[in-house]
Amino acid sequence: MKNKDASTSTDLPLAKISSAESLLVAAGRDRRPGAPLNRPPVPASNFILGTERAYSRDDGTPTWEALEEIVGLLEGGHTVAFSSGMAGVAAVFDQLRVGAQVVLPDDCYQGVVGLAELGNQKGLWSLRRLAVDDTAGWVRACTDADLIWLESPSNPLLTVADVRTICSATRKPSALLAIDNTFATSLNQRPLDLGADVSFQSATKFIGGHSDLLAGVVTVRRDDLRAALRRSRELNGATPGALESFLAVRGARTMALRLERAQANAMILAERLHAHPRVALVRYPGLSSHPTHSVARDQLKGFGTIISFDVRGEAAAADKVCSRVSLIHHATSLGAVESTIERRAGIPGQEHLPPSLLRLSVGIENVEELWEDLAAALRDE
Ligand SMILES: *Cc1c(COP(=O)(O)O)cnc(C)c1O
């Protein structure tokens, strides 16, 4: 469906802007004289009839569209915004016919696994899991799968899939290859350019960036797919909130700066953790010791802000680290300005992980103070 405001990108000089940093700031605005410089939250269910916009669940709102325009331009496609990341994931699974074959990575966001398992139990589709780095396995799976869902880097083991090779494998014309781009973000990876049909991100994480909203974005190039995703949003009522969309746009404005700082912090912390005697193993795609470092270097513009590391000793040793940090918050989720740490095997459905694995989402704080906090929490006694 067409955008409904005279203020959208097609009328604007946005086409001349190619850098992500400038697009994040310039896109999603109404440039007509007298318009507010920032698109306000529009808490409207319905609109005065006479244009294509009648009811927001069907036709969207200017606030959602600001978010959709920004992400769409960043990823080179059309974006549909949802009430949460999982609502966006569900809309992608909604495209499947009964009896479809779904392939998921062995290391994958637990909500996506839960959704896929539920559909499998109900007999809607069959489900297979593949190791993230089993490139040959994924290439083979492409020949008969209907939905190939990749997550790269993966959560929480941070394995990088060879997305380019997998995307170039022959797949059924009706198949969808989707990439969960939440950990990489549109700034480090553009899945549609790599050959994916669908790029998904939880906007709750880096786009929002402040742990104060839930939203999801799904980006595609095909018009029919975009229409089908919008139809799914409409019929399932998976609509983003007005305030959440406003906050997600506000977050997007500073995303490049936040990512740059947090990513630089993460590299420094990963190296120091790697050298720390109380740390058994660090998983960070930027370290040359990381098993998929060379693919990461080739495929990603940056290595991201998430580090997983195993503390020497059992679960209790890792729990102790979480209880001792003070600048870093003991909390779940990721991609925000504040650093958070969590023991992942403590979470239902994640028992396959090493018991002492901690996932650290590095924020934008002073890196020396972050390190002091971590080093103090890792002390022996
Ligand atoms: C958070 C997350 C999701 C789900 O998004 P919500 O906004 O929490 O619904 C999906 N995939 C990944 C990798 C995530 O981190």
Q: 180 C-alpha vs ligand 1 centroid, how far in Å?
A: 9
What percentage of the chain carries pLDDT values higher than 70?
Answer: 97
- The one catalytic residue in 59, 107, 146, 180 is 180
Asked whether residue 127 carries a pLDDT value surpassing 90, the answer given is yes
Query: Which one, of 126, 122, 222, lies nearest residue 174 by Cα?
Result: 222
**What is the atom index within ligand 1 of the atom nearest the CA of 182?**
13
pLDDT at site 5: 46
- The one catalytic residue in 205, 226, 233, 359 is 205
Q: How confident is the model at residue 142 (pLDDT cuts 50, 70, 90)?
A: very high
Q: For ligand 1, pick from 67, 188, 204 the residue to mutate: most ligand atoms within 8 Å of CB.
A: 204
Cβ atoms of 281 and 322 within 8 Å: the answer is no
Active site residue 320: no
CB-based pocket (< 6 A), ligand 1: 84-86, 109, 111-112, 151, 155, 180, 182-183, 202, 204-205, 214, 216
Q: Which DSSP string corresponds to 319-368?
A: HHHHHH-SSSEE-S--SSSS-EEEEGGGSTT-TTS-TTEEEEE--SS-HH
Angstrom distance (rounded) from CA 162 to CA 158:
13
Q: How confident is the model at residue 9 (pLDDT cuts 50, 70, 90)?
A: very low
* C-alpha dihedral (156, 199, 303, 372), degrees to nearest 10: -50
pLDDT at site 1: 40
Asked whether residue 350 carries a pLDDT value surpassing 90, the answer given is no
Q: 380 C-alpha vs ligand 1 centroid, how far in Å?
A: 34
Kindly report the average pLDDT of the chain as a whole number. Answer: 95
Which residue minimizes the CA distance to atom 2 of ligand 1?
202
Task: Give the tens place of pLDDT for each residue, 192-219.
Answer: 999 999 999 999 999 999 999 999 999 9
Asked whether residue 11 carries a pLDDT value surpassing 80, the answer given is no
Superfamily of domain 256-377: Aspartate Aminotransferase, domain 1 (3.90.1150.10)
Angstrom distance (rounded) from CA 66 to CA 64:
5
Q: 349 versus 153: which is more confidently predicted?
A: 153
Q: For ligand 1, pick from 202, 332, 334 the residue to mutate: most ligand atoms within 8 Å of CB.
A: 202
**Lookup: tokens for 181:** 């781009």
Which residue minimizes the CA distance to atom 5 of ligand 1?
85
Active site residue 373: no
Active site residue 122: no
Q: Which amino acid is at 286?
A: G
Q: For ligand 1, pick from 115, 179, 182 the residue to mutate: most ligand atoms within 8 Å of CB.
A: 182
Residue 272: is it exposed, middle or buried by C-beta count within 10 angstroms (0-12/13-18/19+)? middle
Between the two ends of the chain, the Cα-to-Cα distance in Å is: 62
Q: For ligand 1, pick from 86, 245, 305 the residue to mutate: most ligand atoms within 8 Å of CB.
A: 86
- What value does the mean pLDDT take over residues 93-115? 97
- The one catalytic residue in 109, 162, 171, 190 is 109
Q: 7 C-alpha vs ligand 1 centroid, how far in Å?
A: 31
Q: Which fold has domain 14-252?
A: Aspartate Aminotransferase; domain 2 (3.40.640)
**Lookup: tokens for 285:** 């795609």
Active site residue 180: yes
DSSP helix/strand/coil, 283: strand
Q: 86 C-alpha vs ligand 1 centroid, how far in Å?
A: 6
Beta bridge partners of 359: 308, 342
**What is the atom index within ligand 1 of the atom nearest the CA of 108?**
13
Domain borders along the chain are 14-252, 256-377
pLDDT at site 239: 98
Q: 6 versus 134: which is more confidently predicted?
A: 134
Which residue minimizes the CA distance to atom 8 of ligand 1?
85
What percentage of the chain carries pLDDT values higher than 90?
Answer: 93
Which residue minimizes the CA distance to atom 1 of ligand 1?
202
Residue 324: is it exposed, middle or buried by C-beta count within 10 angstroms (0-12/13-18/19+)? middle
Instruction: Say if 14-252 and 256-377 have the same CATH topology.
Output: no
Asked whether residue 12 carries a pLDDT value surpassing 70, the answer given is no
Q: 328 versus 380: which is more confidently predicted?
A: 328
Q: Which DSSP string corresponds to 72-91?
A: HHHHTSEEEEESSHHHHHHH
Q: 70 C-alpha vs ligand 1 centroid, how far in Å?
A: 19
Q: 132 C-alpha vs ligand 1 centroid, how far in Å?
A: 18
